[in-house]
């Protein structure tokens, strides 16, 4: 199923450099391999769920031996958290990029919302974007400390939507109470992870247009 990426990048590097990479508090950061682990973990967590994925699955998908993921992450839990954190950081960065597009502030609120919606869909449904779906669907598997840390990022993310929704509400283009509207709208978007299929049906763009048509009244 998953393409066996394996040792390809190591083919002409028979021995890795012997120098021990520096280590941070509880996780190493020698880039390549660590991020490879994050990527395959995100894939597996998404497809099979966190509890049903073994650290051996992850190691094998990254072309490692069963004990090796613990060189990069101190526990399976820490791996999950790192996946989610990367997902939220990317999502936040994407939205900030959309919001700082030149001329964005001058656009009507409906166009601003369209930008948020399209960016959200793209980050959620684009190829290889397993990080955010994992964060949406494995919330339960976090301990309360991890949950609190991520809740802050999520709050930041949702805060970006509020001024736009309030402007739309004031203009009469959004009739539902703003906070409930935000919850329902993000729910509609997030649920798409369950049914969206890039290979058939609507495209990400058509989805965004449909969502806008569904949510907004004519101005």
Partner DNA sequence: CCTACCGATCGGTAGG
Applying the rule CB under 8 A, the residues between 40 and 59 that interact with its own copies are: 47-52
| Residue 176 touches which member of DNA, its own copies, none, C-beta under 5-8 Å by kind | its own copies
Closer by beta carbon to its own copies, 49 or else 63? 49
Which range binds its own copies by CB under 8 A, 7-15, 66-74, 102-110, 139-147? 139-147
Q: How many residues bind its own copies (CB under 8 A)?
A: 38
| Residue 83 touches which member of its own copies, DNA, none, C-beta under 5-8 Å by kind | none
Nearest to 86 by CA among 140, 14, 27: 27
Closer by beta carbon to DNA, 34 or else 39? 34
Q: How far is the CB of 28 from DNA (least distance, A)?
A: 8
Other CB atoms within 10 A of residue 203 CB: 12
Q: How far is the CB of 153 from DNA (least distance, A)?
A: 23
Which range binds its own copies by CB under 8 A, 7-15, 83-91, 108-116, 194-202? 194-202
Closer by beta carbon to DNA, 70 or else 157? 70
CA distance 58 to 72: 12
Query: Cα(first)–Cα(last) distance of the chain, in Å?
Result: 48
The three-point CA angle 134-136-137 to 5° equals 65
Closer by beta carbon to DNA, 64 or else 84? 64
Here the tokens at position 88 are 């939220």
Q: What is the DSSP letter of 23?
A: B
Could you tell me the CA-to-CA distances from 138 to 6, 32, 67, 146, 180 in Å, in that order? 27, 25, 24, 12, 23
């Amino acid at each position: 199923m998953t393409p066996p990426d394996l040792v390809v990048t190591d083919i002409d590097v028979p021995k890795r450099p012997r120098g021990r990479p520096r280590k941070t508090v509880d996780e190493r950061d020698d880039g390549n391999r660590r991020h490879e682990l994050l990527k395959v973990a995100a894939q597996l967590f998404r497809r099979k769920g966190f509890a049903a994925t073994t650290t051996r699955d992850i190691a094998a998908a990254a072309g490692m031996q069963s004990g090796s993921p613990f060189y990069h992450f101190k526990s399976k839990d820490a791996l999950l958290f790192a996946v989610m954190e990367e997902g939220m950081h990317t999502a936040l960065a994407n939205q900030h990029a959309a919001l700082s597009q030149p001329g964005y502030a001058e656009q009507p609120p409906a166009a601003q919302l369209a930008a948020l919606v399209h960016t959200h869909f793209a980050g959620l449904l684009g190829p290889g974007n397993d990080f955010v779906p994992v964060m949406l669907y494995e919330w339960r598997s976090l301990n309360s400390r991890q949950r609190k840390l991520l809740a802050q990022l999520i709050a930041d993310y949702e805060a970006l939507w509020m001024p736009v929704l309030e402007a739309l509400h004031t203009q009469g283009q959004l009739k539902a109470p703003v906070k409930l509207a935000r919850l329902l709208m993000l729910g509609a978007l997030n649920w798409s992870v369950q049914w969206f299929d890039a290979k058939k049906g609507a495209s990400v763009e058509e989805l965004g247009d449909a969502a806008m048509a569904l949510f907004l009244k004519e101005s």
